[in-house]
Each structure stands twice: as C-alpha cells, then as structure tokens.
Amino acid sequence: MMKKVSITLLFMLTGFLATYGQSDESRMDRDINVCEDILRSLMRQEFQQGYRFGGYTGTEAEYIENEGVIFRVRPDNMLWDGRGIYGVSSNLKDATITIQRAIGDAVDDEQIREKAEARRDKMNEEQQEKMEGILDRYQQVATNFLADYAHLLSQLKDNEEVIVQIKLNRMGGFLVSTTGCEDCPAAVAYAPQDGSDESMDQINVSVPMAEINKYHQEKISLDAFEEEIHVERVTRNTARDANMEIFASALDKLFDQRMSKTYFISSPSVSYERLSNLGAIFNVKVYSSNINGKDSYSMPTQGTDDMTKEERNAKVKSLYPEFIDAMKDALVDYGRIINSLEEDDAVVIRIRMTECEGCGLPEKVELSVKMSDLKGYDMQKLTREAVKGKIKVKESDQ
C-alpha cells in the first residue's frame, strides 16, 4: 500500500513540477508584457505627441536567461548632425541638387560659404544642447520605472538585471532655412561625409534585481537605491569596437549565400550593441530562398531552382538543426576574439528566422554563451564540444 501511495505521489509531484515550470515561463512573459506597457505609458506621458525634439514611438522587451530583461525604447527623435558637407543655393530644390551632384565641391562665393558654415555650427551646438536635455528626461523616466515598477518582474533572479536602453539616432541629411541670417542663402542642404561613422546617442540604465527587491522590502532608501543604478551614456561613434566589428563581418561572410550550407544573410546586415554588465548582442536576419514567380522558389545555398512552396518548406525545415549547429560553430570559432568583453559577459546572437509558413519553426532564436567559456576554449582548457554544449539556445514566436 505504501509503495502504491509513494508512486502516486511521485507522479503527482512530477506533474506539478512540469506545470510549475510552464507556469513560471508564462508568468515571466506576462510580467514582461505588463512592464513593457507601463514603460510605454510613462514615456508617452513624458513625451507628448507633437513635441519636436522628444517624440516617442514604442518599446520592446526581451528576457535573456541569467542576464535579465532589456527594455528597448525607440524614440522618433531625428536630430541634425552638423558634421559633414553641405551645399548652398537660393532655394531648397537647388540646394538638394548641389548635394546630389557635387558633394564636397566648393561653393563659388566664399563669403556665402563661411556664413553657411557659421550657421551650421551654431545649429549643431543648439541641437546638442537639446539632445542632452532629452537624454536627461529619458534617464529620469527610466529611473522612475526601475524604482516604482520593475519589482513586478517577480520571476527574475537576484543576480539578473533590469535594463532600459534608449537610443536616439541623428539625422543623416537635413535642409535648413537660413531666415535671420543676413546675406545668407535662403536654404542650406547638408549631407554626411562618405565613410563617416554612425551617429547616435544612447543611454543604458540598469540595476540588479537584488537591489530592486531590497528597495521594495524597505531595506534601503530611495537615494541608496538610485546610487545602485548604473547609467552608461554612449555618444556618437564611441560604441564601435574593432573586434565586435570583425565578428559581425565574420557572420556576414560565413552565412553569405555563396558560403553557407543552410540559411543565408543578406550581407552586410549584422548589427550589434554593447551593454555594460551584460555583454554584446548581435542581431541577425536569415533567409532561405528567393521567389522566382508564382509557386516557384530557388534556394541558393542548396543549388536548387524551381521548387514548389511545399518542397521549399520541407527543405527549410530539414535544414534548421544544421543551421543552429553552424551558428554554434561560428560563435565558438570567432566569438572568442571579442577581447573587450569581461569573462562574466555574454556573447548573444539574436536571430530573426526565415519565413516558413506551417513549418513549426520559431520566429526568433537566441544563442548565448559566457565569454569565460569561449576564453576557456581559446586557452585549450575546454574542448570544442564542451563549449558548444554550454551554448544556450532559446526559441520564441514573439
């Protein structure tokens, strides 16, 4: 009798643990969605529609296991960047033509050019001051969110972080009126120099979940909590990292349709971002085929033409395990070169998958591994297979 009861309890416990695990994951998704909506509301309250230099478009969030939750705020700010080359003319149309036809050519009237340069520099200084003010406001909203609402992420571990990332892109080209500038032309057209670095301003605001819990358990004051918040400001091109650039280029090359044996990247398209206390995230979009016509597909990595949709989908589905293994190989072989990362940092490859209706493939896949494991392989302390076994693969349909 006791044996039967024990077996019954064992099955009940097993079922409970399985349900509990599913419940935890479902609760995590629910908490993230709620917090995402809260942050979106806070941003909209701060930046009302129509505010010229502080508009707000949306927020998206994702959970990275053992790292935390990242909320990405995407403002619609587009600020003029005063570096580069410009053209001047008596009207906007001609000014634009000046840029299109003769970027870098000198303007005939040196006096006009000097006055246009002065106007450009003054506008750039004004824009930078406005940018700093906007970043301060975003930082305050993020701080308020972390203090008042981040505790709702109840499934996070103490060592995981809540990160709010705000990135504002600068405008690459701009037409400005020169009203109020005596003897200046009616308009100035601006365009960035060829090969100029990416222009952006970014804030990462983060805090460990342990500190959030302490604050809401009234173990620390608000001032003490805010001191634990890490704020990282990245301006202009300071986010660029040579080894991260090389790794991004390696992914572009390895998954070029002429080299890949599975899915391919439309090169060059791999982007990346660096988050302090977390690591590096590489964003990849992969494809599997080209459309030749109605119900006719070609798969360049397979050397096949004129496939039906059904044939194409079957092949795409069968290539998925091989693709994941190839991406793991790339992470092990080349991720170890990113020596600007700390050992506790992670290298994350976030993949938006090829379309395959009815195939049962995830929409997104995320591969992540600790830098310490990659360095262990580089120093021959870990085998290749051991490191590949440490790579975590997370699939999602969101």
In angstroms, the CA 104 to CA 201 distance is: 26
Query: What pLDDT shows up at residue 91?
Result: 44
- In the beta sheet, which residues pair with residue 304? 299
- Identify whether the C-beta of residue 161 lies closer than 8 Å to the C-beta of residue 208: yes
Encode burial over 5-42: b for 16+ CB neighbours within 10 A, e otherwise: eeeeeeeeeeeeeeeeeeeeeeebeebbeebbebbbeb
- Identify whether the C-beta of residue 67 lies closer than 8 Å to the C-beta of residue 346: yes
SS3 24: helix
In angstroms, the CA 36 to CA 62 distance is: 10
Nearest-CA neighbor of 212 among 202, 201, 204, 220? 220
Amino acid found at 86: Y
The phi, psi pair for 312, rounded to 5°, reads: -60, -50
Question: Cα separations (Å) of 370 from 12, 106, 252, 366?
Answer: 36, 52, 22, 14
SS3 394: strand
Query: What pLDDT shows up at residue 44?
Result: 80
Give the dihedral of Cα atoms 77, 129, 193, 186; nearest 10 deg. 90
Amino acid found at 56: Y
Q: Residue 251, Cβ neighbours under 10 Å: how many?
A: 23
pLDDT tens per residue across all 398 residues of the chain:
444 444 444 444 444 444 444 447 788 989 999 999 899 888 888 876 433 334 445 678 888 888 899 998 877 544 433 333 333 334 444 444 444 443 344 445 565 556 656 666 666 676 667 777 777 888 999 999 999 999 999 999 999 999 998 877 654 444 444 444 444 444 444 433 333 334 456 789 999 999 999 999 999 999 999 999 999 887 654 445 778 888 998 999 999 999 999 999 987 788 888 887 788 999 999 999 998 888 899 999 999 988 999 999 999 999 999 999 999 999 999 999 898 888 999 999 999 999 998 999 999 999 999 999 999 999 999 999 999 999 999 998 86
Three-state DSSP string of 104-170: CCCCCCHHHHHHHHHHHHHHHHHHHHHHHHHHHHHHHHHHHHHHHCHHHCCCCCCCCEEEEEEEEEE
- In the beta sheet, which residues pair with residue 350? 283, 366
- CA 259 and chain centroid, separation: 26
What's the length of the chain?
A: 398
Query: What pLDDT shows up at residue 332?
Result: 95
Domain ranges of the chain: 75-235, 242-396
Residue 29 parent element (H or E): helix 2-46
In angstroms, the CA 294 to CA 84 distance is: 46
Amino acid found at 339: N
In angstroms, the CA 223 to CA 210 distance is: 16
In angstroms, the CA 235 to CA 348 distance is: 23
- Identify whether the C-beta of residue 107 lies closer than 8 Å to the C-beta of residue 86: no
In angstroms, the CA 95 to CA 380 distance is: 60
Residue 100 parent element (H or E): helix 92-102
